[in-house]
């Protein structure tokens, strides 16, 4: 496998990916976001800033 930013990221996501998925599920459950699923939330998408600062927010 070539040594690249993308492959480093892909390997790291394998140890971090489950945690991210769990966190997204918790956010959706706790905020009762019935129209959303974890796939709608990007890994590097700001949450609080977006919610407070823009109508184009996650909410």
Partner 1 sequence: MSAKLQISSSILIRKNNLIKDGISVFEYSGTNISDFLGSIYIFLGITYPKFYKMDNLSKLGFLATELLLKDNKLSEKYLPEEIGVNLSNTNSSLDTDIKYFQSTQDIASPSLFAYTLPNIVIGEICIRNKIKGENSFFISSAFDPELTSIYVKSLFEEQALRACICGWVECLESEYSVMLMLVEKMFKII
# chain residues binding partner 1, by CB under 8 A: 15
Q: Is 48 in the site for partner 1 (CB under 8 A)?
A: no
Q: How far is CA 11 from the centre of its chain?
A: 17
Quick check: 57 and 50 in contact, CB under 8 A? yes
Question: Considering the complex, what minimum distance in angstroms separates the CB of residue 46 from partner 1?
Answer: 13
Give backbone dihedrals phi and psi of 45, rounded to 5 degrees, phi first: -80, 125
Could you identify the residue written with the tokens 């599920």?
Answer: 25
Binding mask 1-40 for partner 1 (x = CB under 8 A): xxxxxxxxx-xx-xxx-x----------------------
Which C-beta is closer to partner 1: that of 26 or that of 37? 26
């Amino acid at each position: 496998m070539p040594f690249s930013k993308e492959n480093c990221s892909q390997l790291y996501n394998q140890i971090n990916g489950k945690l991210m998925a769990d966190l997204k599920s918790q956010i959706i459950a706790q905020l009762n976001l019935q129209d959303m699923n974890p796939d709608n939330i990007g890994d590097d998408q700001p949450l609080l800033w977006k919610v407070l600062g823009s109508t184009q927010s996650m909410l």
